Structure formats: C-alpha cells, structure tokens
C-alpha cells in the first residue's frame, strides 16, 4: 500500500471539500449570514459581507458585488488578493514540505530569518523567533522582557506602555493594551503596567527608572486611529531606556513590512525587540519577534519559550515571497508616493478636518459625519474602509494600489460623507 490513498479517491475527497465550499458560495448573502450566526462564536458581531473571491485590490461578495479593498484585511494583504507569485510559492512549499515542528528546521525558515535581520539592519548576533500572529509575537516579547528582572534588592517589575496602545488580545498582550473596555472583563491580568502620554518625552523620562523592565511602543498607533509618534520621540525612547537599563520594544505588527513606505516605521532607531505580523505573510498567518544584539538573545534560553506552528515552512516561504516582491517591484517608493498623494487629496475634501499617516497607513477625521455610518455607506457604494472611532476612518490598502484606484474613493467621498452626516 502506498503512503497516500488511491489518487482517484484522493481527488474525489478533495473534490468533495471543494464542492462543498463552491456550493456554499452559490447561496445568497442572507442565507450565509444565517449559517454564520448559527455556527460561529459572536465575538466579531455581524460580518459586513460574505466574501467569496479576491483579485488585486478588489474582492467580491456572495451576491456578485465588487468592492475596492482599502483596508487590506487590516494592513495584511500587502500584495493584494490572489497574488499569483505568492499563491504559487505557498502551494509549491506546501507540496514540498508543509510542516515539521520546531524539533526541525527548514530552508525557508532560515532564509526568512536572515532576510528579516538584513532589512532591519540588525547588528551581528541578532536573532529571530517566529510566531503565528501579532499577539503571539508580543507575548514572546513580554516573556523575554520579564527576564530583565533586576535583582532581589532592586527588582524590575514594571512595564511602561502608551495611552491608546493596542498590543493584542491574549492575556499578556491584553495587559499592555490601553482600552479598559478590552481588559476589565478579563481581570486579573499580569499587573504593574503603567500607561503614559504618547509622544511626551518628559513623561517617558519621568516614568522609566530602575524599576522598569520594558517599554512597549507602537511607532504609529494604528488601532487608536493612526496616531504618529515623532522620530525624535522614538530616538529619545531609545536613549532613555538604555540609560535606565529597561528594554525597548517596538510593536511594528501594523506598521512594519513596508506599510509606511519603509520596511519599518521606527527605522533608523533600533530597539531591543521588534514584533511583526500583519503584512509579513501577505495574508498567510505569521508573526515574528526580532531580538536585536547578542546581549539581548541571552534572555530566552532553550526551553524558555516555544510554539508548534511558529516558523512553519509555508508561512516562512510566504514571508520571503512578500519581501522579495516588495524589493523587486520597488514598492516602498510606490507606497510613499501614493500615500502622500492620497493624503493631499483627502485634505482637500470639505468636512475632513484632519488627515494623518505615513505611506499607505492613513486616517482622516470627519467634522460632522459619523464614521461607522460612512463605513456602511461606502460599503454599499463598493468601498471597504474602517472606522477606528465615531469620527475617524482608517485606510490600509494593499501596497500595490494605484492612484487611479484611490482616486475612485476620493471622487466618491464627498457624496458618501453627506450621506453619513
Ligand atoms: C493587530 C495588532 C496586534 C495584534 O495582532 P493579531 O495578529 O491580531 O494578534 C498587535 N499589535 C498591533 C500594533 C496591532 O496592530
């Protein structure tokens, strides 16, 4: 008997799984929404649409409607939907070697780690740990920084995070997240986190002393509505933490991988630890923690941390394909140019009172329109955008989007805004 079942039975089995999905795709959105609510836990509320297909910067719903995706799966779909190279790299890696556990390694894992160290200008001795998501990358970072525990006489027990910070939903990352509404129902969480005003260097200097093990910073606070921190602030954070013996963690889960027009929004400042996820796999789940400098790699020794899926060959092949494509297509320059054009256009629209962002991570604030209402109106008109609060809309489209495509949103916005006012 061969290792695999009879190929004809095999393809019949695969075919029946595919046929089941294809059959569901034929149902109306209303029927699918019903099946969703009967089978999926309600933590996400009601899904806005049932999406069945994507290509480039567009997706299509179960009723055949087309949408321009200006959210990119929340800053994830770096190369857009259905990218042929990404799809072929993923499927050929899966066909060659799909999963092996961390008792083993694979060429794609090593290649992606080396590539991340190269593009982050990591000093010699720096190392990478792979996870599967942003929150897991931050869990790893939090565990690592816990080891910077000081001494019995002078323990370092405090972690500093910023007001409005978002670091994830698992208990450790949640303990750093600012929103009381997210944390309170799950108390007790790891304690001794202090939130300080974002962007205020004096507040940072005052808070970071010899009782602090780590400072966690998003270079741009994405979930908080794309709030930028200055290069001066990031450089000051580097200096202040170094002087106090605290570790500096940059959470680039949302801002990394070219989103802001450079590979990392915090460059050229080099932290002790950087976390990545969202855009890294172009839609395939992967997270990463980069540990900078040999002296920081000592914090986690064999057995101190682990994961079954992290560093999976397929996920790493996807990450590598994303980085190579960004480089080969000179996408960073494209992101800077299209992002700047987008913000200039937005600034010229009446009823938009503030425009913020870097590269293709942008938010704008509405004077009188309601942001969640605008999201609904935009969706009906064929545009996917996101509200981070009642006044603020966030855009994080695929990095391959064109000014022509962005221009269709700009042309539609005045009318959509008045419909949402
Ligand atoms: C999305 C996000 C996370 C959490 O990532 P998940 O993959 O959803 O766990 C953490 N930090 C930042 C800055 C994020 O934007």
Place of tokens 């022509």: 404
Tell me the mean pLDDT in the region 335-361. 98
**Domains detected in the chain:** 19-82+330-419 (3.90.1150.10), 87-328 (3.40.640.10)
pLDDT at 116 over 80: yes
For 55-76, write each residue's pLDDT tens digit. 999 999 999 999 999 999 999 9
The angle formed by the CA atoms of residues 143, 177 and 366, to the nearest 5 degrees, is 150
For 367-385, write each residue's pLDDT tens digit. 998 999 999 999 999 999 9
Distance of CA 225 to the CA centre of its chain: 14
Tell me the mean pLDDT in the region 403-417. 98
Structure token pair of residue 6: 């009879």
Q: Is 55 left (phi over 0), alpha (psi -120 to 50) or beta?
A: beta
Q: What is the pTM of this model?
A: 0.96
Tell me the mean pLDDT in the region 245-261. 98
pLDDT at position 66, please?
Answer: 98
For 120-154, write each residue's pLDDT tens digit. 999 999 999 999 999 999 999 999 999 999 999 99
pLDDT at 1 over 60: no
Place of tokens 């064109």: 402
pLDDT at 359 over 90: yes
Establish whether residue 253 lines the binding site of ligand 1, counting it when its CB lies within 6 angstroms of any ligand atom: yes
Give the span between the Cα atoms of 379 and 390, in whole angstroms.
17
- Pocket-testing residue among 178, 277, 280, 289, ligand 1, by greatest number of atoms within 8 A of Cβ: 277
Indicate which atom in ligand 1 lies nearest the CA of residue 278: 7
Q: Where does the pLDDT of residue 15 fall: very low under 50, low under 70, confident under 90, or very high at 90 and above?
A: confident
Q: Where does the pLDDT of residue 17 fall: very low under 50, low under 70, confident under 90, or very high at 90 and above?
A: confident
Cα 226 to ligand 1 centroid, rounded to whole Å: 14
Cα 342 to ligand 1 centroid, rounded to whole Å: 24
């Amino acid at each position: 008997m061969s290792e695999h079942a009879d190929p004809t039975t095999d393809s019949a089995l695969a075919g029946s799984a595919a046929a089941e999905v294809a059959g569901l795709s034929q149902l109306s959105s209303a029927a699918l929404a019903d099946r969703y609510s009967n089978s999926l836990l309600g933590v996400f509320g009601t899904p806005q649409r049932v999406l069945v297909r994507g290509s480039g910067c567009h997706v299509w719903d179960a009723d055949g409607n087309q949408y321009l995706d200006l959210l990119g799966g929340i800053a994830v779909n770096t190369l857009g939907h259905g990218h042929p190279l990404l799809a072929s790299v993923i499927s050929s890696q899966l066909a060659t070697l799909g999963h092996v556990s961390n008792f083993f390694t694979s060429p794609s894992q090593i290649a992606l780690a080396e590539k991340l160290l190269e593009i982050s200008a990591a000093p010699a001795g720096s190392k990478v740990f792979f996870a599967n998501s942003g929150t897991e990358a931050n869990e790893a970072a939090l565990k690592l920084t816990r080891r910077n525990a000081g001494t019995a006489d002078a323990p370092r027990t405090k972690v500093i995070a910023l007001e409005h910070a978002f670091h994830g939903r698992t208990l450790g990352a949640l303990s750093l997240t600012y929103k009381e509404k997210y944390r309170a129902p799950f108390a007790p969480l790891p304690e001794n986190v202090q939130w300080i005003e974002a962007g205020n260097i004096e507040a940072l200097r005052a808070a970071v002393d010899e009782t602090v093990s780590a400072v966690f910073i998003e270079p741009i606070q994405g979930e908080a509505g794309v709030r930028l921190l200055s290069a001066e602030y990031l450089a000051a954070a580097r200096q202040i933490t170094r002087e106090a013996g605290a570790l500096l963690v940059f959470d680039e889960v949302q801002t990394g991988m070219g989103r802001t027009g450079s590979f990392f929004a915090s460059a050229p400042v080099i932290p002790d630890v950087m976390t990545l996820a969202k855009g890294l796999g172009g839609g395939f789940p992967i997270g990463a923690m980069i540990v900078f400098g040999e002296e920081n790699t000592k914090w986690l020794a064999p057995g101190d941390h682990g994961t079954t899926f992290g560093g999976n060959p397929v996920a790493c092949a996807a990450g590598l394909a994303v980085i190579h494509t960004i480089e080969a297509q000179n996408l960073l320059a494209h992101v800077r140019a299209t992002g700047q054009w987008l913000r200039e256009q937005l600034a010229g629209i009446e009823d938009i009172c503030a425009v913020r962002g870097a590269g293709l991570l942008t938010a704008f604030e509405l004077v009188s329109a309601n942001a969640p209402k605008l999201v609904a109106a935009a969706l009906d008109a064929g545009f996917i955008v996101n509200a981070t609060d009642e006044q603020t809309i966030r855009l994080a489209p695929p990095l391959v989007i064109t000014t022509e495509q962005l221009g269709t949103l700009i042309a539609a916005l005045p009318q959509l805004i008045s419909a949402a006012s």
